[in-house]
Amino acid sequence: MLSFIGRRLLNYLIMLFAATTLAYFLASSFLNPRSNYVQMRPRPPEASIDASLDFANVNDKVPVAKRYVRWLAQVGLHWNWGVSPRGEPVNAAIAYRAIVSAKLVTLSTVLAVLIGVSIGVAAAIRQYRLFDRVSNAVSVFFLVCPTFVLALLLVLGGIRLNEAVGARWFFVTGLGDGGFLDYLQHVALPTVTLTLVGYVGYHLTQRTYLLDTMNADYVRTARAKGVRKNVAIRRHALRMSLIPTAIGVVWSLTSVITGAVFVETIFAIDGAGKYFIDALTQNDINGSVAIAAMGGCATCAGLLLADIVVALLDPRIRLG
Chain segment 219-259, per-residue pLDDT in tens: 777 777 777 777 777 777 777 777 777 777 776 766 656 55
271 inside domain = yes
* Lowest-pLDDT choice from 68-82, 94-108, 222-236, 278-292: 222-236
Pair (225, 126) in one structural domain: yes
Pair (28, 132) in one structural domain: no
83 inside domain = no
Instruction: Show contacts of 69-73: CB within 8 Å, 24+ apart.
Output: 71/24, 71/286
Pair (74, 99) in one structural domain: no
Pair (177, 145) in one structural domain: yes
Pair (161, 265) in one structural domain: yes
**Overall residue count recorded for the chain in this entry:** 320
85 inside domain = no
Pair (151, 257) in one structural domain: yes
318 inside domain = no
pLDDT > 70: percent of the chain? 93
* Contact between 57 and 67 (Cβ < 8 Å): yes
Pair (191, 245) in one structural domain: yes
pLDDT band per the 50, 70, 90 thresholds, residue 69: very high
Pair (200, 67) in one structural domain: no
How is residue 62 annotated by DSSP?
Answer: S
55 inside domain = yes
How far apart (Å, rounded) are the C-alpha atoms in residues 126 and 97? 43
Pair (70, 98) in one structural domain: no
Q: Which of 78, 113, 129 is the last residue of a domain?
A: 78
Number of domains present in the structure of the chain: 2
57 inside domain = yes
**Mean pLDDT across 97-103:** 84
| DSSP tally for the chain: helices H, then strands E | 15, 0
* Lowest-pLDDT choice from 63-72, 151-160, 262-271: 262-271
Q: Which of 54, 78, 102 is the last residue of a domain?
A: 78
Residue 249 pLDDT: 76
3-state SS assignment for residue 83: strand
Pair (142, 29) in one structural domain: no
How far apart (Å, rounded) are the C-alpha atoms in residues 58 and 86? 11
Pair (36, 164) in one structural domain: no
192 vs 230, which has greater pLDDT? 192
234 inside domain = yes
Residue type at position 121: V
pLDDT above 80: residue 196: yes
Pair (207, 111) in one structural domain: yes
320 inside domain = no
- Boundaries of domain holding 307: 90-313
pLDDT band per the 50, 70, 90 thresholds, residue 288: very high
Q: Which of 55, 78, 101 is the last residue of a domain?
A: 78
Read off the CATH number of the domain in which 169 is found.
1.10.3720.10
Residue 1 pLDDT: 64
